[in-house]
Amino acid sequence: MKKIILTGDRPTGRLHLGHYVGSLRQRVELQNSGAYDDIYIMIADAQALTDNADNPEKIRENILEVALDYLSVGIDPDKASIFIQSQIQALTELSFYYMNLVTVARLQRNPTVKSEIEMRGFASDIPVGFFTYPISQAADITAFKATAVPVGEDQEPMIEQAREIVRKFNYIYGDVLIEPEIVLSDNKVCKRLPGTDGKAKMSKSLGNGIYLADDPKTVKEKVMSMFTDPDHIRIEDPGKIEGNTVFTYLDAFSKNEDFEEFLPDYSCLDELKEHYKRGGLGDVKIKKFLVNVLERELGPIRERRAIYEKDIPGVYEILKEGTRKAKETADATLKEVKEAMKINYFDDSALISSQTEKYGG
């Protein structure tokens, strides 16, 4: 069986470090591993519109931002097809048929939908399109016969629901669709990177994010004002590691080489943590170290972004070519699906001949 990746993001804003450690970094690794036959990365504008119907301009603007973020982290258009969801009609059509395989009760139980409904304060005024987006997400995944879906942990219920739809479809209509596996980041802290305020997760609405496109000065300011241990007042005081955002970020980003390069008094993160716990290590020092660690990662990303920013028409060409290829694949799957469902009337000569016979022809 072919190994195929399909994944994507909603273009509702630029991508941040939470996206990066939660999934983007891993997508690039998977891409470069050479272990996959095809890789599709989707800018999920149609899904973004399910709760932004009144603000299409925002989605339109952010398609380019997300594309630039993808390219700048190292998604390589020669290895992966980056495409725009709304341009692939087959996805809408598949969603329509999958809707018959899912109950309202099942959608209401989907934990991601549930928490998003709470977050946005929806009741029965929820847009139908938003409520049913797990179904459309199953269409996204299955249209490409994806075997692997690298996403953040919050997407787990979506993949589970897609798997159920695949099983139900194949049971009723025969084996056409492939059950996808979720691929999560293996580093625990990376699964849900907190915001710079130490709260919840990084999000645009909370204003606690560090963005891949932030300039060095902004990154530094954000790190220097990061939440640490509120009881660690004087340098001599013993400090806490748990819930200390700077250490959480160091867990997610620092490598042993970073100590050699930026903080040679320590050989590794554990040593730094021990000193902080004992007391005698100030927040400014660990924050400056974190700035260096982040810059080691963000510097090359920013450089690549700058190159692509100089050629926006070229970026649109990449999207156009990715979309062309994605359309080909999704159309082929839709054809198989319609055959399996026996709604391929004009391509089915057996149908016409048997009915001709029935009427004595």
Site of interaction with ligand TRP (CB under 6 A): 6-10, 44, 47, 137, 140-141, 149, 151, 155
User: Is residue 148 a contact partner of residue 181, using CB atoms and an 8 Å limit?
Assistant: yes
Strand partners, 4: 38
Task: Work out the burial of residue 358: count CB atoms within 10 Å of its CB; fewer than 13 is exposed, 13-18 middle, 19 or more buried.
Answer: exposed
CB closer to ligand TRP, 133 vs 289: 133
The rounded distance, in Å, linking the Cα atoms of 66 and 13 is 8
User: Is residue 15 a contact partner of residue 41, using CB atoms and an 8 Å limit?
Assistant: no
CB closer to ligand TRP, 142 vs 196: 142
Task: Work out the burial of residue 207: count CB atoms within 10 Å of its CB; fewer than 13 is exposed, 13-18 middle, 19 or more buried.
Answer: exposed
Q: How far is CA 162 from CA 86, 94, 132, in A?
A: 19, 12, 12
Q: CA torsion sign, 295 to 296 to 297 to 300?
A: positive
| CB 71 to ligand TRP: min, Å | 18
| CB 133 to ligand TRP: min, Å | 7
For 132-199, strand residue ranges (E) read 148-150, 181-183
CB closer to ligand TRP, 135 vs 269: 135
| CB 233 to ligand TRP: min, Å | 40
CB closer to ligand TRP, 281 vs 330: 330
CB closer to ligand TRP, 47 vs 52: 47
CB closer to ligand TRP, 90 vs 219: 90
CB closer to ligand TRP, 11 vs 194: 11
CB closer to ligand TRP, 22 vs 239: 22
Shortest-Cβ-distance residue relative to ligand TRP: 44
Which residues, 6 or more positions from 16, have their beta carbon under 8 angstroms from its beta carbon?
202, 204, 209, 210, 211, 212
> What's the start-to-end Cα distance of the chain, in Å?
44
The amino acid at 323: T
The amino acid at 79: K
The rounded distance, in Å, linking the Cα atoms of 8 and 136 is 13
The rounded distance, in Å, linking the Cα atoms of 129 and 87 is 17
The rounded distance, in Å, linking the Cα atoms of 209 and 129 is 28
Helix (H, G, I), strand (E, B) or coil at 261: helix
CB closer to ligand TRP, 10 vs 273: 10
Q: How far is CA 93 from CA 97, 120, 296, in A?
A: 7, 28, 45
User: Is residue 287 a contact partner of residue 281, using CB atoms and an 8 Å limit?
Assistant: no
CB closer to ligand TRP, 112 vs 170: 112
